[in-house]
Amino acid sequence: MKLVTAVIKPFKLDDVRESLSEIGVQGITVTEVKGFGRQKGHTELYRGAEYVVDFLPKVKLETVVADDRVEQVIEAITNAANTGKIGDGKIFVSPIEQIIRIRTGETGAEAV
Amino acid sequence: MKLVTAVIKPFKLDDVRESLSEIGVQGITVTEVKGFGRQKGHTELYRGAEYVVDFLPKVKLETVVADDRVEQVIEAITNAANTGKIGDGKIFVSPIEQIIRIRTGETGAEAV
Amino acid sequence: MKLVTAVIKPFKLDDVRESLSEIGVQGITVTEVKGFGRQKGHTELYRGAEYVVDFLPKVKLETVVADDRVEQVIEAITNAANTGKIGDGKIFVSPIEQIIRIRTGETGAEAV
Amino acid sequence: METPIFELQYALDTFYFLVCGALVMWMAAGFAMLEAGLVRAKNTTEILTKNIALFAVACIMYMAVGYELMYDKGLGMFLSGIMGDGVAGAAAEEKASYAPSADFFFQVVFVATAMSIVSGAVAERMKLWSFLLFAVVLTAVIYPVEGSWTWGGMDVFGLYNLGDLGFSDFAGSGIVHMAGAAAALAGVLLLGARKGKYNAQGQVVAIPGANLPMATLGTFILWMGWFGFNGGSVLATASVDSANSVAVVFMNTNMAAAGGLVGALLAARLLYGKADLTMVLNGVLAGLVVITAEPSTPTPLLATLFGLVAGVLVVFSIIGLDKLKIDDPVGAISVHGVVGLLGLLLVPVTNDNASLLGQIIGAVTIFTWVFVSSLAVWALIKATLGIRVSAAEEYQGGDLSECGMEAYPEFMSQ
Amino acid sequence: METPIFELQYALDTFYFLVCGALVMWMAAGFAMLEAGLVRAKNTTEILTKNIALFAVACIMYMAVGYELMYDKGLGMFLSGIMGDGVAGAAAEEKASYAPSADFFFQVVFVATAMSIVSGAVAERMKLWSFLLFAVVLTAVIYPVEGSWTWGGMDVFGLYNLGDLGFSDFAGSGIVHMAGAAAALAGVLLLGARKGKYNAQGQVVAIPGANLPMATLGTFILWMGWFGFNGGSVLATASVDSANSVAVVFMNTNMAAAGGLVGALLAARLLYGKADLTMVLNGVLAGLVVITAEPSTPTPLLATLFGLVAGVLVVFSIIGLDKLKIDDPVGAISVHGVVGLLGLLLVPVTNDNASLLGQIIGAVTIFTWVFVSSLAVWALIKATLGIRVSAAEEYQGGDLSECGMEAYPEFMSQ
Amino acid sequence: METPIFELQYALDTFYFLVCGALVMWMAAGFAMLEAGLVRAKNTTEILTKNIALFAVACIMYMAVGYELMYDKGLGMFLSGIMGDGVAGAAAEEKASYAPSADFFFQVVFVATAMSIVSGAVAERMKLWSFLLFAVVLTAVIYPVEGSWTWGGMDVFGLYNLGDLGFSDFAGSGIVHMAGAAAALAGVLLLGARKGKYNAQGQVVAIPGANLPMATLGTFILWMGWFGFNGGSVLATASVDSANSVAVVFMNTNMAAAGGLVGALLAARLLYGKADLTMVLNGVLAGLVVITAEPSTPTPLLATLFGLVAGVLVVFSIIGLDKLKIDDPVGAISVHGVVGLLGLLLVPVTNDNASLLGQIIGAVTIFTWVFVSSLAVWALIKATLGIRVSAAEEYQGGDLSECGMEAYPEFMSQ
Ligand SMILES: Nc1ncnc2c1ncn2[C@@H]1O[C@H](COP(=O)(O)OP(=O)(O)O)[C@@H](O)[C@H]1O
Ligand SMILES: Nc1ncnc2c1ncn2[C@@H]1O[C@H](COP(=O)(O)OP(=O)(O)O)[C@@H](O)[C@H]1O
Ligand SMILES: Nc1ncnc2c1ncn2[C@@H]1O[C@H](COP(=O)(O)OP(=O)(O)O)[C@@H](O)[C@H]1O
C-alpha cells in the first residue's frame, strides 16, 4: 500500500480527479495549501506600500493505492497536471503500513 | 513511532478527540479537507443552472504515537467515528522515523 | 529522500521559511491546521454562554529533502520556531520512496 | 377649493409620512442584516430569504385584509378606494389631513416590523414555508385584531375599551414589539432549542454569529429607521406644536438608544469582563424599544435613563431566558418582549394621560391574544406541514436544504 | 417679491426633490452591493471600483454635457448658470417652481442608475478602463439624446415626437432601465460569456455569487431608493393633488416590489423545488422596474399583480437568456430590459393618456438608439483598447489584475 | 398665536433639520463600516464596538455638558428646558424659527462625526476603554470649546473673535473634520505604529483591510449622509433663498465627491498602475471634506475641481504620512486633517466674506487647541490606564482580548 501525494496547480484539480477516476482510483483527499518553490510570488501595492504575496495557492491531493498501481497513478497525475510551466508541482510516494475503512472495519486492499 | 491519519466526517471530530484523550493521546493535528470517494456529492440549482458540489467536507486528523499504541488508537477512532453510513472515512498508518519537540529538543518517545 | 513535517506556531512561519531558504531548501508546502496538545485553548463568553476555543491555530510545513540534509533542516526549523513556550510544536521525519517533478518528469534528487 | 395654507399643510404632512414610512421600510433591511449576522454561516441564505419574503407577505396581506380589519375605513376590497384624497375622506365621513395612501404606506411597514421580530427568534431551525404561512396569518389577522383594539380604538371583543382604561402606547412598544415577541415566544416553545445549544450537562453552549459587521450594520439601520417609526407616530408635523413634538421624539429616540447601549456595555463589562458587541447591539435596540411607548414626554435625560435601564435589563433577560432553555438566537424575545413591556409600564411616569392599571391591562390583553392565537396557529402548522427541519437538515444548514445555495460559497469555514 | 405661500411651495418642492435625489443616489450603493454579492470573490474589488467610479463619471459628464443636451435649458458651459433660482428662470423664459440645482441633482442620479445596470451584466470579464470609457460616452451622449426625445420633449432626429404619439414613461422603465439594459446587451454580445459558464457539452454551469448577505442588502437599498426614484418623478408635492399622487406612487412602488418578490419566489419554488434567494432578489427588482413606467394610476391590487407577473417573467427570462448563452452574472438584462419593456406595455392598461402603439414606438426608438450606438462604441473600444481581460487575468480575477488588491485578502477560499 | 404661514415655515424648517440630522446620524454607520472594512479581521469586532459606543458617548456627553458649553442657550441642567418651542425661545431672549430639540439633534450628530474620525486612525492597537474615556472628554469639552469660538460666536479665551477676523467654515471642514484629525494625530503620536507596519529596513509594509465591500459600503453611506451634513448647515430651507441654497449645497457636495473620486483614481493609476480601491474611497471622502467649508458659493464646475485637487492631495498625503511613519490604518488624518485644512483655505476663492488670513488664524486656533488639549488627555490616560494593548494582545487581535469574540468566527483565515 502506498500513499501518493501530489501538490498541483488548483485549476488542474478537476482534470486530475477525472483521469484518476478513469483508471479506477476511488478515494482521494484534497487539501488547500500554500506553496513555496521555484515559482515566485508577486508583489502588490496597497495604498502605496508594497505587499508581497510570496506563497502561491496550490492543492494537495492524497490517495492511497495498492503498490502495483503506483506507476499508473503517477502517470495519470503527471499527464493531467502538466502545463509545462514552472510551478506545476511534485508527486511524492511514501509507504503505508495499514489501512482501515471506518464504516466496516475492513483492512488492507479491501479498504481502499 | 507511527503516524495514524484518519479522514472522518467533520461532526465526529469532537467525539474522536475525546476518545483519543481518554486513552491518553495528547497531541493531534487537524486539517479541513475535501473528500472524494464512494460517497457522492450533491447537485444544487443556482439561478436555474446546475451546480455540482462533488467533494464532501471531511476532517483529517493526524497523530503520531508509539508503535504499541497503534491498535488502541485505531480502535478508539473507529468506535468514535463510525456511523455505519457510507463516507465514514479511512484510517492510514505510516512509519515515522524521527520526532522532535521544538521547544525542548527532546526526541523519540519523549517528544510525543 | 525524507519528508520533514513540522507543526509550528503561525507567526513563526516567515522566520522558518527564511532559515530554510538560507540552507538551500527550495520547496515547501504549507497548510493551515488546528492543533490539540499540551497547550490548552481558551474559553470565551458570548452572550453570557461559554464558548470553548479548544484548538489552536498552527501551521504545518512539509518539505521533502535528501537524506543527508535532514539533520540540517531539523536544526534550522528548531532554531527558527523555538520560543521556549509550550505549544512550539513538533517535527516528524518519515520516508519517501519516490519523488517526481510534474513539469519535467524528473525523479529522485533532481526533482526536489 | 381648499385654502392654499391647507394645501401646504396637507402636502407637508403627507411628505412627512412618506419619509417616515420609507425609514420604517428600511428597518426591514436592518432586521435582515442583524439576523444574518447573528446566525451561523450555514443558515444565512435562509434567514435572508425569510426576512425579505416576510416583508412582501406583510405588505400584501395587510393590503388585502389587515388594514380594513384594523381601522375599518370602508375602503373596499383590496383598498380599491384608497387612491382618493384625505380631504374628501375615503368612504366619506372620516376626513384626514393627509393622503390616505400615505397613511397606509406608513402603517403597512409597521406590520412587517412585528413579523421581523419573529424570524430572529425561530432562526436556524424553522422550516421556511411554515414560517411564511404563519406570516400570512399574523399580518392578515393576529396583528390587525390587536391593532384594532388599540390604535383602531375598537372594543376588545366588545367587552372593554383600552383607550378608556387609560392605555397609551405611542408608537408600539406593546402593540408592535411585545406583540411580535409574543408570537415569537409561542413559536419557540413549540419548536424547541437548536441542536447543541444546551449540552448534556444542561449547560448553555454559545453558538456565535458568523458575521458581526453585518449585525452591527443591521443595528445602525434599525437605529436610523426608528426615527421614522417613532417620529412618524406623532401623525402630523405641519404646525408649531406638532413640529416640536416630532423633534422631541427624534431627540429622545436617539438618547434612549445611546442610553441602552451604555447600559448593556457596562452590564456586559461587569458580568463578563469583556465588551460583548452582540450585547451592545441588543442594548441599542432595547433603548429604542423602551422609548417607543412614549417618546414625546420624557426629558432627554429621562429618555437616556430609561434606555440605560432597558440596556441593563436586556442583558439579564437574555441570560435568564437561556437559563430557562428558551433558545432565541438573536435575543428578540428579550429585546422586544421583556423591554417592550417595560416601555409600556414606564409611560405613566411622564404621561399623565396614561394609568399604570391601563398599561397593565393593555399589556395583558395584547400578550394573551397574540400568544394564544399564535400558539394555536403554530400548533396547527406543526400538526400538518411541520415547523421544524429534520435533524440532518439542521446539521447541514437551512441554506442548502431550504434555499439550495450557500451564503458564502467560496469561503472555507471552520 | 414672491408671496409667502409661493415661497413655501417652492421650498417644499425643492426639499422634496433633494430628499428623493438623495434616495436615488443611495441606489448606487444598492447596485454596488448587489453586484459585489453576486460575483465571485476574486472579482469583487473590481466590481466595487467600477460601480463607485461610474457614479462619479456620470455626475461629471452629465454636468459637463448631458443635462444641457437633454433639456436645453440654456444654462451655459458646465451649468455655470444653474445656481440662480427657479423663480427667475435659469436663462429666462422657462420658470420652475423649485430650485434648478435641485432639478439637476435629481436628474443626475438617474443617469448613474442607467449606467449601473451595465456594470452588472459585463461583470467578471470586462476591462475596468474600457468600461469607464464607455461610461463617459453613455452618460454624456447616448442617454441624454434619448432623454431629450422623451422627458426633454424634442423630436426624434427631427422626424417624429414620442409625446405626440402617446408615449408615456413616468419614471423611466424604458428611458432609464431598458436603455441601460440595451447598452448592457450590446456590451455582452461583443464581450462573450465568462470562461466556464457554458461547458463543452453546451450546458449552463452555475457560478454562484460569493456573498449573498451583500446582495440582499443591495436589494433592500434599491427598494428603499426606488421610493425616491418613482416618488420624485411626480415632480411636485406642494399641493393636495400632487401630494396624493406622490403618496400613491410610494404605495404602489412598494406593492409592486412585494408582488415581484412573491412571483419570483413561487416560480423558483415550482421550477426547482427550492427558494432561490437570488431569484427572489431579482423578483423584487423586476416588480420595481415594471411599476416605474406608471406608478400613479394603478390600484394597489393592480400594482401587486403587475409586480407578480414581472417576478415570474424575470425567472423565465433569466433562464432563457442563459439558454441563448447570453451571460449576465446578475440578471440585469432580464430585470431592467425584458421587464422594463413589459412595464412600458402595461402603461395603457391604467393610463388613458398612453397608447399601446405609442409605447411600442417609444420602446423601439429607445432600444434601437441605445443598442446601436452602444454597439458602435463598444466595438470601437474593442478595436482599440480591447474590452476583455486576458484569459490568465480572468482566471486570476479582476481584483489582482485591475485593482491590485483582493476584496477579502484574509479569508481562505475553496 | 402664530400666523399660519409662520407655523408652516417653522414646521418645514424643523422637519428639514430632522431629516438632515438623521442622515448625519447615518454617517456613524458609514464610519463604522469603512473602518471595519479597512482593518484586519482580528480587530473587526473591536473597531465596531468602538464606533457604535462612541456615538452613544458623544450623544450623552453633548447633552450633559457640550451643547450648553458651545452655544450657551440657558437650557439648564441636562437640557431640561429644551422641550419647549423655538418660537418662545428656550430660556427666553434667543428665538429660533424651528424646534430647539431639532437643533440639538442636528448638532449632536456632528460631535459624533468628529470622534468617529479618531477611531479609524488609532485602530488595531488602542485599548477600547481608554479610547472611550478620551471620547468622553473630546465630546464633552474639547470639541464644544472650539465650537463655541466658531459656530458659537464666542471669543477665543476672551482674546479675539474668529468671526470678526473673517473666518468662515460653513459645515465644518475645520471645526469638525480637521478637529477630529488633530485629536487623532495626537493619539497616534503617543501610540506609535502597529507592529509590523514598518519593517527593520524602515520600509512601509502594507497591511491590507479585510473586507473591501464593507469599506465601500461605508463610503457610500458617508456620501449619502453628507447631504445632511452640508445641506442641513444652511440652517433653514423654508424660503426661496434658503431652498436655493440648500439645493446648491446638495449639488456641490455631490460634485466634489465625484471630483475627489476621479482625482484619487487617476493619481493612484499614474503612481501604481492599478486602480487602488481604498484610495478611491479616500478620494471620495476627500472631495466631501474639502467642499464642507463652503459648499454654497462655488459653481458645480469649481466644486468638482476642488474635489479633484483634494482627491489627488489625499493620495500624496497618505503616502507622505506613511513615510513619516505616522501609522493611520484608514487614512483619517489625511482625509480629514490635511484636506480639511485645504478646504478652509479654499473658502476665500468663492466666498467674499471670508479672508485668507482669517482662515489661517482660524485653522491654527482650532488645530492648536484640539491638538494640545488632546495630547494632554491622551498623555494622562497613557500614564494611568495605558492606551496601547500589549504586544501579545495586538498579535492575537483586539477582538478576542477586548471583546471576547471574533467578527467572523467561522471563516478560516490565511
Ligand atoms: N521539496 C519539496 N517539498 C515539499 N513541497 C515541495 C517541494 N518542492 C516543491 N514543493 C511544492 O511544489 C510546488 C511547486 O514547486 P516549484 O518549485 O514552484 O515548481 P516546479 O514544480 O515546477 O518545480 C511548490 O509551490 C510547493 O508547494
Ligand atoms: N484511497 C484513499 N486515499 C485517500 N483518501 C481516501 C481514500 N479512500 C477514501 N478516502 C477518503 O475517505 C473519505 C470517505 O471515503 P468513501 O469512499 O466516501 O466512504 P467510506 O469511508 O465509507 O468507504 C473520502 O471522502 C476521502 O476523503
Ligand atoms: N503526537 C502528535 N501527533 C500529531 N501532532 C502533534 C502531536 N503532538 C503535538 N502535535 C501538534 O503540535 C502542537 C504543539 O504541541 P503541544 O503539546 O501543545 O506543545 P509542545 O509542542 O510544546 O509540546 C499541537 O497543537 C499539535 O498540533
Say if the Cβ atoms of F404 and C32 lie within 8 Å.
Answer: no
The C-alpha angle E6, E8, E9, rounded to 5 degrees, equals 65
Residue D121 has pLDDT above 90, yes or no: yes
Residue C60 has pLDDT above 90, yes or no: yes
Say if the Cβ atoms of A49 and F279 lie within 8 Å.
Answer: no
Residue with cell 479609524: F120
**Which chain F residue lies closest to C56 (C-alpha atoms)?**
F396
Runs of H (alpha helix) within F100-239: 100-121, 128-137, 143-149, 179-191, 212-231
Q: Say yes or no: CB of residue C78 within 6 Å of ligand 3.
A: no
Average pLDDT for D323-342: 97
Q: What pLDDT does E94 receive?
A: 64
Which of the other chains make 3 or more beta carbon contacts under 8 angstroms with chain B?
A: A, C, D, E
Say if the Cβ atoms of F78 and D281 lie within 8 Å.
Answer: no
* Helix H or strand E segment including D95: none
Distance in angstroms (rounded) separating the CA atoms of residues E345 and D248: 47
Cβ-Cβ contacts under 8 Å, C51 against chain F:
405
Average pLDDT for F111-134: 98
- DSSP assignment of E296-359: SSS-HHHHHHHHHHHHHHHHHHHHHHHHTT---TT-HIIIIIIHHHHHHHHHHHH-TT--HHHH
Residue with cell 463543452: E200
F200 to chain C nearest CA, in Å?
14
**In this structure, which ligand is nearest to the CA of C2?**
1
Ligand 1 center to A59 CA (angstroms): 11
> For the packed helices E100-121 and E179-191, what is the interaxial angle rounded to 10 degrees?
30
Domain locations along chain D: 4-406
- Nearest-CA residue for ligand 3 atom 12 is C89
Burial class (CB in 10 A: 0-12, 13-18, 19+), C109: exposed
Say if the Cβ atoms of B101 and C92 lie within 8 Å.
Answer: no
Distance in angstroms (rounded) separating the CA atoms of residues E322 and E271: 15
Query: What are φ and ψ of residue E388, in 5° steps?
Result: -115, 140
Cβ-Cβ contacts under 8 Å, B44 against chain E:
206
- C-alpha cell of F364? 491654527
Which of the other chains make 3 or more beta carbon contacts under 8 angstroms with chain F?
A: A, C, D, E
Bridge-based pairing of strands B98-101 and C42-46 is: unpaired
Q: Say yes or no: CB of residue A7 within 6 Å of ligand 1.
A: yes
Q: Say yes or no: CB of residue A63 within 6 Å of ligand 2.
A: yes
Distance in angstroms (rounded) separating the CA atoms of residues E166 and E355: 5
Runs of H (alpha helix) within F329-355: 332, 339-350
Q: Say yes or no: CB of residue A58 within 6 Å of ligand 1.
A: yes
Cβ-Cβ contacts under 8 Å, B18 against chain C:
none
Mean pLDDT taken over chain E? 95
For the domain D4-406, what is the CATH code? 1.10.3430.10
Say if A11 is an interface residue toward chain F (CB within 8 Å).
no
Q: What pLDDT does F1 receive?
A: 47
DSSP state of F404: S
Site from A32, A34, A46 to mutate, F interface, most F CB atoms within 10 angstroms: A46
The contacts of residue D3 (CB under 8 Å, 6+ apart) are none
* Helix H or strand E segment including C28: strand C28-36
Say if the Cβ atoms of D274 and F28 lie within 8 Å.
Answer: no
Q: What pLDDT does E414 receive?
A: 52
C64 to chain D nearest CA, in Å?
27
Ligand 3 center to C87 CA (angstroms): 7
Mean pLDDT taken over chain C? 91
**In this structure, which ligand is nearest to the CA of C37?**
3
Q: Count the Cβ atoms, other than its own, within 10 Å of residue A74.
A: 20
Instruction: Work out which ligand 2 atom sits closest to the CA atom of A3.
Output: 3
Instruction: List the single residue in D206, D274, D319 with the smallest CB-CB distance to C50.
Output: D206
More confident residue, D51 or D409: D51
* pLDDT digit string, tens, across residues E216-275: 999 999 999 999 999 999 999 999 999 999 999 999 999 999 999 999 999 999 999 999
* pLDDT digit string, tens, across residues D281-311: 999 999 999 999 999 999 999 999 999 999 9
Q: Say yes or no: CB of residue C24 within 6 Å of ligand 1.
A: no
Say if E279 is an interface residue toward chain B (CB within 8 Å).
yes
For chain F, give the percent of residues with pLDDT over 90: 90
Instruction: List the single residue in D5, D108, D409 with the smallest CB-CB distance to E208.
Output: D409
Q: Say yes or no: CB of residue A64 within 6 Å of ligand 2.
A: yes
Q: How does residue C74 score in pLDDT terms, banded at 50, 70 and 90?
A: very high
Average pLDDT for E326-351: 98
Q: Is B84 left (phi over 0), alpha (psi -120 to 50) or beta?
A: left
Average pLDDT for E338-351: 98
**In this structure, which ligand is nearest to the CA of A39?**
1
* pLDDT digit string, tens, across residues E293-327: 999 999 999 999 999 999 999 999 999 999 999 99
Say if the Cβ atoms of B102 and C36 lie within 8 Å.
Answer: no
Mean pLDDT taken over chain F? 95
Strands, E assignment, A37-82: 42-46, 49-53, 56-65
Instruction: List the single residue in B44, B47, B51 with the smallest CB-CB distance to E279.
Output: B47
Which residues sit opposite C100 in a β-bridge?
A: A91, C107
- DSSP assignment of E168-211: --SS-IIIIIIHHHHHHHHHHHHH-PPTTSB-TTS-BB----S-
Ligand 1 center to E324 CA (angstroms): 43
- Nearest-CA residue for ligand 1 atom 7 is C27
pTM of the complete model: 0.94
Say if the Cβ atoms of E395 and A11 lie within 8 Å.
Answer: yes
| Torsion over CA: E209, E213, E214, E219 (sign) | positive
Q: What pLDDT does B109 receive?
A: 86
E127 to chain F nearest CA, in Å?
12
Say how many CB pairs under 8 Å bridge A and F. 38
Distances (CA, A) of F299 to E89, E105, F22, F132: 17, 13, 27, 41
Residue F125 has pLDDT above 90, yes or no: yes
* Helix H or strand E segment including E162: none
- C-alpha cell of C79? 532554531
Distance in angstroms (rounded) separating the CA atoms of residues F340 and F313: 11
Q: What pLDDT does A48 receive?
A: 81
Say if the Cβ atoms of B45 and E278 lie within 8 Å.
Answer: no
Q: How does residue C46 score in pLDDT terms, banded at 50, 70 and 90?
A: confident
Lowest mean pLDDT among A32-36, D98-102, E287-291: A32-36
Distance in angstroms (rounded) separating the CA atoms of residues F29 and F11: 28
**In this structure, which ligand is nearest to the CA of B40?**
2
Q: Count the Cβ atoms, other than its own, within 10 Å of residue D357.
A: 12
Bridge-based pairing of strands A49-53 and B28-36 is: unpaired
Cβ-Cβ contacts under 8 Å, C95 against chain A:
94-95
Distance in angstroms (rounded) separating the CA atoms of residues D325 and D28: 28
Average pLDDT for D238-258: 97
Burial class (CB in 10 A: 0-12, 13-18, 19+), F99: buried
Residue E412 has pLDDT above 70, yes or no: no
Distance in angstroms (rounded) separating the CA atoms of residues E121 and E177: 13
Say if D404 is an interface residue toward chain B (CB within 8 Å).
yes
Q: Three-class SS of residue A63?
A: strand
Say if the Cβ atoms of E277 and D49 lie within 8 Å.
Answer: yes
Q: What pLDDT does A50 receive?
A: 78
Say if the Cβ atoms of C46 and F404 lie within 8 Å.
Answer: yes
Q: Let me know how long chain F is.
A: 414
Residue D1 has pLDDT above 70, yes or no: no
Strands, E assignment, E6-52: none
- Nearest-CA residue for ligand 3 atom 13 is C89
Q: How does residue C54 score in pLDDT terms, banded at 50, 70 and 90?
A: confident
Distance in angstroms (rounded) separating the CA atoms of residues C4 and C2: 6
Nearest residue to E294 via CA among E203, E215, E205, E358: E358
**Which chain F residue lies closest to A48 (C-alpha atoms)?**
F319
Cβ-Cβ contacts under 8 Å, A100 against chain B:
74, 78, 90-91
Q: Say yes or no: CB of residue A86 within 6 Å of ligand 1.
A: yes
Say if D299 is an interface residue toward chain F (CB within 8 Å).
yes
**In this structure, which ligand is nearest to the CA of C103?**
1
Instruction: List the single residue in A8, A36, A87 with the smallest CB-CB distance to C17.
Output: A36
Q: How does residue A10 score in pLDDT terms, banded at 50, 70 and 90?
A: confident
E119 to chain A nearest CA, in Å?
24
Cβ-Cβ contacts under 8 Å, F392 against chain C:
none
Q: Say yes or no: CB of residue C87 within 6 Å of ligand 3.
A: yes
